[in-house]
Chain A
Amino acid sequence: MDRIPILKLGNFLLVTIQVDMYDQLAITLQDDLTSKIVQAGAKGVLIDISSLEVVDSFMGRMLANISEMTRVLDANTVVVGMRPAVAITLVELGLSLPGVQTALSVDKGMALLNAMREERPSEGLRERKPGAA
């Protein structure tokens, strides 16, 4: 069975999608990512789609799903390098993927992931003021 390779890049995982995506491949990727995140203790995922000439609704939703899943696993996902024609088409399809972080390149995506890590510390936990009841 085909799989898309997942590389470890420090604290992050890098997925480069270069082949024409078919549904089963996408589903396998989702599964592989979730296990690898836990296995490697990764804090971020970069999905490089700069080679993709077509992203349809299935694939778009998959990107959104992956973003959501990684969040639950205390990691962030950044989708990197979407081509203009693809972006225009997705918007036209009604999928502007608001929950998905994006970046122009892998470098910028990494910078974003690092920035997001720095902002996290006490999120979700109520602030405790010294001396307050």
Chain B
Amino acid sequence: MRDSVNGNLAQLRQIAVIGSETMAIRTDSDIVQARHLVRRWSNQIQLSLIDQTKLVTASSELARNAMIYGIRDGFTTGSGLGLGLGGAKRLVDEFYIDSKVGEGTRVTVYKWKQ
């Protein structure tokens, strides 16, 4: 999945970016699209089936969260980002959430290939 880490971290872990896409998630078919993207990429790097399923499901949770919690005016307001993220967290190896007032919230997840 596309990462948002700074250059130093990328260097330490040799992250190879195979794809990057920015989508607006406004309708539930956008969620499906997001799932397809993640499915395609995780297939490309040959994640195991179980890991693929977990990652795609986590993406679905995150995408739905984004849809519900505030892309109305482009920003997330308050601490509405509670539901669904707990589950997604358990499905991935690393989970980072970064909220800036007035700028929105960025959630970054990692699933490492075994």
Complex contact B91–A58 (CB within 8 A): no
Number of A-B contacts (CB under 8 A): 60
B50 at interface by CB-CB < 8 Å? yes
- Nearest to B86 among chain A residues (CB) is A94
Check: A86 CB closer than 8 A to any chain B CB.
yes
B28 contacts partner chain A, Cβ-Cβ < 8 Å:
yes
Q: Which residues of the partner chain A approach B88 to less than 8 Å between Cβ atoms?
A: 93
Q: Is the CB of A23 within 8 A of B28?
A: yes
Chain B, interface size category, equals 20 to 34
Evaluate contact between A89 and B32: CB separation under 8 angstroms. no
- Whether A93 pairs with B91 at a CB distance below 8 angstroms is yes
* Cα(A92)–Cα(B93), bound, Å: 13
Interface size class of A (residues with CB under 8 A): 20 to 34
- By secondary structure, the B interface counts as helix
Smallest CB–CB gap between A117 and chain B, Å? Answer: 34
Name B's A-contacting residues (CB within 8 A).
28-29, 31-32, 35-36, 39, 49-50, 52-54, 56-57, 60-61, 64, 84, 86-88, 90-91
A-B contact pairs, 28 of them (CB 8 A): A20-B32, A20-B35, A20-B36, A22-B29, A22-B31, A22-B32, A23-B28, A23-B31, A53-B39, A54-B39, A54-B56, A56-B60, A56-B61, A57-B61, A57-B84, A85-B49, A85-B50, A86-B53, A88-B50, A89-B54, A89-B91, A92-B87, A92-B90, A93-B61, A93-B88, A93-B90, A94-B90, A95-B87
In the complex, the 8 A-B pairs of residues with the closest C-beta atoms, listed nearest first = A23-B28, A93-B87, A85-B53, A56-B60, A22-B28, A85-B50, A22-B32, A89-B57
Chain A residues close to B by CB (< 8 Å): 20-24, 53-58, 84-86, 88-89, 92-95
